[in-house]
């Protein structure tokens, strides 16, 4: 197991100065009816509109000179590609981003505008993009920068957790979206490394419960194809590197439906917070876990135990990580229409 130490996290945090924003924790006054304080970690305010700038910049900044000269390649459904394109542009490194054909146009266009080469392959997020990216490694000597299963990427994402703990020492619960687990592993590492008395709750799409599957099998498990409005969370398995960093620190994992995600986007939008579906899943989970919505999450077997632990934890001072805001205007209007 790779350990992400506090020194590692601090070095990544220092390296992000002047590159990534120290995003605010926005108090959600409308949540006071839930009888606890809730704040939104506003990663949608990053220069690329998403938290992925943290891990991408850290990984590219730490590359040796020879690797920088050859360039980098990655596979991504969107925001990681934006992060790699941004970091590579700023550092003067060639970057190739392999994306599925279904990737959001706003993200594909953003990657191109930042100067990276875009290769579209495969209808949806899957192994096709990883295979195509590996071909660039084998053929042209580019360095692969995975979207989540990489120690430097995880350390970069973990700086989000450090900031939350520094900005709000009273926080007792952090709710985090999970795709491949890079952000979740980083935040779990930050909580563990600092010794903070904080519980971490993961939120995944109901139709792609990859983390629940990993807990059931006690190992990363690849699911069959699934769909979700949360296009940034479509990875079918958590990573081999991220899983052990998550397993021993995470308090619970809950899932949210597309309808709950839409409702959360409307709820946030009514308070002038425009976020993408993946960025709204933690808000969706909080609303569903509220005592007035006790039947809104499935509760069977082990899932029921996770839900009850999450419900208990979310009654305390809670930070919701909003991972991004990159959504096309027309698509946003469609998703938030009643």
Number of domains in the chain: 2
8 A C-beta contact, residue 145 and residue 60: yes
Strands of the sheet with 72-75, listed across from one edge:
117-120, 95-99, 72-75, 143-144
pLDDT bin (cut points 50, 70, 90) of residue 35 is: low
Q: Record the tokens describing residue 212, joined without a space.
A: 């629940």
Q: Are residues 85 and 109 in the same domain?
A: yes
Q: Are residues 46 and 111 in the same domain?
A: no
- Put simply, whether the predicted model's pTM sits higher than 0.85 gets the answer yes
8 A C-beta contact, residue 153 and residue 179: no
Q: Are residues 317 and 173 in the same domain?
A: yes
C-alpha span between 298 and 303 (Å, rounded): 7
In DSSP terms, which residues pair with 195 in a beta bridge? none
Q: Are residues 137 and 32 in the same domain?
A: no
Choose one of 125, 144, 163: the last residue of a domain. 144
- Can you point out the beta strands (E) in 28-70? 38-42
Instruction: Give domain status of residue 183, yes or no.
Output: yes
Instruction: Give domain status of residue 16, yes or no.
Output: yes
Choose one of 97, 113, 144: the last residue of a domain. 144
In DSSP terms, which residues pair with 74 in a beta bridge? 97
C-alpha span between 223 and 221 (Å, rounded): 6
Q: Are residues 133 and 282 in the same domain?
A: no
- Write down the H helix ranges in 180-300: 182-194, 210-217, 242-247, 258-269, 277-289
Mean of pLDDT over the chain: 93
Choose one of 144, 165, 199: the last residue of a domain. 144
Q: Are residues 132 and 208 in the same domain?
A: no
C-alpha span between 242 and 139 (Å, rounded): 28
* Predicted confidence (pLDDT) at residue 32 exceeds the cutoff of 90: no
Domain span at 92: 53-144
Q: Are residues 312 and 288 in the same domain?
A: yes
| pLDDT tens sequence across 236-280 | 999 999 999 999 999 999 999 999 999 999 999 998 999 999 999
Q: Are residues 154 and 139 in the same domain?
A: no
Instruction: Give domain status of residue 23, yes or no.
Output: yes
Q: Are residues 104 and 138 in the same domain?
A: yes
- Rama region for 141: left / alpha / beta (φ>0; ψ in -120 to 50; rest): left
If you count them, how many residues does the chain have? 338
Tokens 């491949």, located at residue? 180
Tokens 């991504």, located at residue? 76
The CATH number assigned to the domain holding 60 equals 3.40.50.1100
Query: CB neighbours (10 Å) of residue 304?
Result: 12
Strands of the sheet with 199-205, listed across from one edge:
25-27, 38-42, 318-322, 173-177, 199-205, 252-256
Q: Which of 28-32, 193-197, 286-290 has the highest mean pLDDT?
A: 193-197
Q: Are residues 171 and 109 in the same domain?
A: no
3-class secondary-structure state, position 256: strand
Lowest pLDDT segment from 169-183, 219-233, 255-269? 219-233
Q: What DSSP string describes 279-304?
A: HHHHHHHHHHHSGGGTTSS---HHHH
Instruction: Give domain status of residue 1, yes or no.
Output: no
Q: Are residues 82 and 26 in the same domain?
A: no
Q: Give Cα 158 distance to the centre of its chain.
A: 11
3-class secondary-structure state, position 253: strand
Query: CB neighbours (10 Å) of residue 267?
Result: 19
Q: What is the pLDDT of residue 29?
A: 79
Q: Are residues 115 and 242 in the same domain?
A: no
């Amino acid at each position: 197991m790779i350990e992400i130490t506090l020194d590692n996290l601090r070095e990544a945090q220092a390296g992000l100065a002047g590159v990534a924003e120290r995003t605010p924790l926005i108090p959600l006054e409308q949540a006071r009816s839930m009888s606890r304080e809730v704040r939104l970690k506003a990663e949608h305010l990053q220069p690329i509109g998403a938290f992925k700038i943290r891990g991408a910049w850290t990984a590219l900044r730490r590359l040796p000179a020879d690797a920088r000269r050859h360039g980098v390649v990655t596979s991504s459904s969107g925001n990681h590609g934006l992060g790699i394109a941004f970091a590579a542009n700023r550092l003067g490194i060639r970057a190739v981003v392999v994306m599925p054909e279904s990737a959001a146009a706003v993200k594909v266009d953003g990657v191109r505008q930042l100067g990276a080469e875009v290769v579209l392959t495969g209808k949806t997020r899957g192994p096709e993009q990883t295979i195509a990216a590996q071909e660039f490694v084998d053929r042209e000597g580019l360095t692969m920068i995975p979207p989540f299963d990489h120690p430097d990427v995880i350390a970069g994402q973990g700086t989000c957790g450090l900031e939350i703990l520094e900005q709000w020492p009273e926080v007792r619960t952090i709710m985090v979206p999970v795709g491949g687990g890079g952000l979740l592993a980083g935040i779990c590492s930050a909580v563990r490394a600092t010794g903070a008395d904080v519980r971490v709750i993961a939120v995944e799409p109901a139709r792609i419960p990859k983390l629940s599957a990993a807990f059931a099998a006690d190992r990363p498990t690849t699911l069959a194809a699934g769909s979700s409005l949360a296009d940034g969370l479509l990875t079918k398995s958590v990573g081999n590197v991220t899983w052990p960093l998550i397993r021993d620190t995470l308090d619970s994992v809950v899932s949210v439906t597309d309808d709950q995600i839409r409702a959360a986007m409307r709820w946030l939008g009514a308070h002038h917070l425009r976020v993408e579906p993946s960025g709204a899943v933690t808000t969706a989970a909080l609303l569903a876990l509220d005592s007035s919505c006790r039947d809104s999450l499935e509760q069977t077997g082990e899932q029921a135990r996770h839900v009850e632990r999450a419900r208990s934890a979310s009654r305390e001072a809670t930070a919701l990580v909003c991972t991004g805001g990159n959504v096309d205007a027309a698509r946003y209007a469609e998703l938030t229409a009643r």
